[in-house]
Amino acid sequence: MDIDKNHKHTYDKNGNITCCSLEQKIDYKTAPPVMTKEEHSDDDGHNHSHSHSEDSSWKEYLPSIISLGLLLSGLATEHLLNASFFTGWVEIIWYSAAYVPVGLPVLKEALQALRKGEVFTEFFLMSVATIGAFAIGEYPEGVAVMLFYAVGELFQAAAVRRSKNNIKALLDVRPRIANVLKNGTYVEVNPEAVKIGETIQVKVGEKIPLDGKLLSENTSLNTAALTGESKPQTVQKGEKVLAGSINLENVVEIEVSSLFNDSSIARILDLVQNATARKSKTELLIRRLAKIYTPIVVYLAIAICVLPYFFVESYVFSDWIYRALIFLVISCPCALVISIPLGYFGGLGAASKNGILFKGATYLDQITKVNTLVMDKTGTVTKGVFKIKKIKLFSDISEKDFMRVLMSIESKSTHPIAKAILEYNEENTILPEATNINEIAGKGLSGTVENKVIAVGNNKLMNEIGVSIPPETKEIVESIVLVSIDNEFAGFVTIADELKEDAAESINLLRNAGIQEMVMLSGDKDTITQQVAKELKIDKAKGGLLPEDKLNEVEEIKKDSSKIVAFVGDGINDAPVIAASDVGIAMGGLGSDVAIETADVIIQTDQPSKIATGIKIGKSTQRIIWQNIVLAFGVKIIVLILGAGGLATMWEAVFADVGVALLAILNAVRLQKMEWS
């Protein structure tokens, strides 16, 4: 749908009314990816906020404050002070002055809509009703209708800003600074300001801000967020590095190969910022109903004014036009058309605040229907990093001395398992020097430590040097490191991918959220997959699967039409299954490029328990939206009947329209106030 920036309420090509168009107020597409429009970046990359943002916020409320002040003082002068001068032109001018600050913008919008052939907008309804009220001498009511409408707009804008800020706060995890080589020194600048061919420096532990080519000799990168691969990736000079990777070793220099807006991070953010493009079925239905409903009530209002002339003996035009105007004010569909999308914005904002990004309101609805969850293992319920799980000794050596000699040998290796073993040395004690290191490909290492011959590796190495190992080692499913000292078996260390802290809790939360069946599909060894599934009490598990095998498994599950399937994964190999599922969920702070682009929901915090949180937010959003629908329709029907019968005044009409809209907005805002954890 094309959005006219100067006209907030319009119709799309399908005839869907976009009354109080929230898209224009959020306008994600034009929002800069790093800085807000109130900020700019100097050459040094530091952001500066302008005081004009505060001024513009104050100016936004000023017309309503002026109008309210004039309305209250006019009512006080007329009814409390009973001032004799407050009649005729004085009264008209006073209330007109109260009307202009809030009414003029609406009148302008109504004229613009009429020029485009759009008659039945809320601007038209509000303009006709309030001008009509002035025409029959009901000046305070005319001002009040427009004032409360303006206040409703302010409430709506504030609620949308809150949702937008929640989403923006989550997006600000991306790199904000790039150290660029300028005139022989490195200067901190915004990544958006870096040009292709410039050289940037990335320190240990920092995220790489832009795609590029490595100029340094080598480094090790954590690319789990991009590829789903748990092992660090060693990159040599001249090889490509991707934005979002974390530098693990050495201070490195990189030649930038693409602009920030073309990087993998920017593409991900673009997807997130346009999350509101996909409407839910409920929202689309209400907008279509509003398109039919609005002209009907306009014609009914005309009938209320004209038809009694032919049937009522004591027909008084001013009485019946007043009833028709009341009917018009009540009929305005803004309570529905504002509050329902705002309810979804509240849900999207609440989800974003909790680290969950939905790519549209439709998925906020769809996730509530999921009853079968299929999940990957590595990076989804496990951390995707190696860690010592068990140390077992088979000699008189102490665990401390056993680990000292093992770490001495492993300190000469760059293998991920070696790094996991070296993490045991938390106190950074000085290790004895290992000499005569010999690496046996595919088997392990041998060397000399404190005049003892140490061999570290797998059972093939132990067989080669003639060391017998206990039978129990053959039954261990995790990665195992066998150690011999002077050709005597000394013990072993098991290395395993560690479960995430909230993995076990997540399974219970998901069952409580309505997930009836959970399945684990992994490319890891089947024995390891089965062990993790058993530990977490997952219903079914299969390991040793290729991406196409995972896809076949999910398609087999989907053959049962009663099952609504969600799949959660983190790597590029999970993308086909994410696409095939009813709700695709990408796990990871930035996730694999392909997984992010394919997924419907992104768990930004890497916590599987957030899936259950997302389901809860979706269900609460639906509940609040239906509360708003019932409230709006219920009150409108009652007051419409009373207005047509002459039993309701313009004040009741104000409540039925703007009052109900305000209540619905406040109800929707509750979503962002709730605690979900």
Pairing status of strand 252-256 against strand 212-214: antiparallel
pLDDT computed for residue 281 by the predictor:
56
Q: Are 132 and 325 in contact, with CB atoms under 8 Å apart?
A: yes
- Label residue 483 by pLDDT band (50, 70, 90): very high
Place of tokens 């997959």: 529
Mean pLDDT of 66-92: 90
DSSP tag of 217: S
Task: Using the predicted structure, report yes or no on whether residue 510 has a pLDDT greater than 80.
Answer: yes
Query: Looking at domain 385-498, which of 1.10.1510.10, 3.40.1110.10, 2.60.40.10, 3.40.1390.30 is its CATH number?
Result: 3.40.1110.10
Fold of 178-267: 2.70.150
Residue 343's pLDDT is 79
Res 45: pLDDT: 37
Measured distance CA(522)–CA(618) in Å, rounded: 28
- Residue with the larger pLDDT of the pair 423 and 567: 567
pLDDT of amino acid 35: 32
Of the pLDDT bands very low, low, confident and very high (cuts 50, 70, 90), residue 418 is confident
Label residue 25 by pLDDT band (50, 70, 90). Answer: very low
Q: Which residue has the higher pLDDT, 258 or 34?
A: 258
User: Can you tell me the distance from the alpha carbon of 42 to that of 105, in angstroms, rounded to the nearest whole number?
Assistant: 36
Torsion of CA 358, 585, 382, 608, to 10 degrees: 40
The yes-or-no verdict on residue 22 having pLDDT over 50 is no
Nearest-5° Cα angle at 276, 272 to 278: 110
Are 258 and 211 spatial neighbours (Cβ–Cβ below 8 Å)? yes
Are 601 and 615 spatial neighbours (Cβ–Cβ below 8 Å)?
Answer: no
Is the confidence at residue 202, as pLDDT, over 90?
yes
Say how far apart CA 71 and CA 98 lie, in whole Å: 6
Predicted confidence at residue 34, as pLDDT, reads 32
For the packed helices 88-115 and 139-171, what is the interaxial angle rounded to 10 degrees?
Answer: 50
Reported as a single tens digit per residue, the pLDDT across 148-175 is 778 777 776 776 666 556 555 544 445 6
Mean pLDDT of 291-301: 76
Catalytic residue positions, numbered: 376
What does DSSP assign to residue 353?
H
pLDDT at 181: 92
pLDDT of 476 higher than 70: yes
So what's the pLDDT on residue 239? 87
Which residues lie closer than 8 Å to 306 by C-beta, 6 or more apart? none
- Report the range out of 95-109, 436-450, 473-487, 639-653 with the highest average pLDDT: 95-109
pLDDT at 353: 76
Q: State which H helix or E strand residue 545 sits in.
A: none
Q: What is the mean pLDDT of residues 656-661?
A: 73
What is the domain partition of the chain in residue ranges? 22-169+273-350+618-673, 178-267, 385-498
Q: Are 342 and 668 in contact (CB under 8 A)?
A: yes
Give mean pLDDT, residues 562-583. Answer: 85
- Of 28-32, 70-74, 259-263, 436-440, the one with minimum mean pLDDT is 28-32
Per-residue pLDDT tens over the stretch 302-344: 898 899 888 888 888 888 888 887 777 776 666 666 667 777 8
Q: In DSSP terms, which residues pair with 518 in a beta bridge?
A: 373
Is the Cα dihedral 367, 554, 226, 411 positive or negative? positive
β-strand partners of 375 = 520, 568
Give residue for tokens 């239906």. 626
Residue 265 has what pLDDT? 55
Name the one residue in this structure whose structure tokens are 């080598």.
218
Who has greater pLDDT, 37 or 338? Answer: 338
**How many angstroms separate the CA atoms of 656 and 5, rounded?**
29
- Is residue 38 classed as helix, strand or coil in its secondary structure? coil
Q: Do domains 178-267 and 385-498 have the same CATH topology?
A: no
Helices (H), 252-333: 264-273, 281-306, 308-311, 317-331
Report phi then psi at 231, rounded to 5: -80, 140
Residue 254 three-state SS? strand
Q: How confident is the model at residue 655 (pLDDT cuts 50, 70, 90)?
A: confident
> Residue 33 has what pLDDT?
32
Q: Hey, what are 654's tokens?
A: 């104000």
Average pLDDT rounded to a whole number, residues 438-464: 88
What percent of the chain has pLDDT above 70?
Answer: 78
In this prediction, residue 296 carries a pLDDT of 80
Has residue 268 got a pLDDT over 90? no
- What pLDDT sits at residue 542? 92
pLDDT reported for residue 585:
92
Helix (H, G, I), strand (E, B) or coil at 268: helix
Q: Which has more confidence, 281 or 525?
A: 525
State how far the alpha carbon of 145 is from the alpha carbons of 66, 94, 106, 127, 130, in Å.
15, 16, 12, 10, 7
Average pLDDT over residues 473-488: 88
pLDDT of residue 258: 85
Which residues on neighbouring strands pair with residue 603, listed in sequence order?
356, 587
Helices 122-135 and 317-331 pack at an angle, to 10 degrees, of 150
Are the CB atoms for 330 and 322 separated by under 8 Å? no
pLDDT class of 275 with cuts at 50, 70, 90: very low
pLDDT at 123: 79
Pairwise CA distance, residues 335 & 639, whole Å: 14
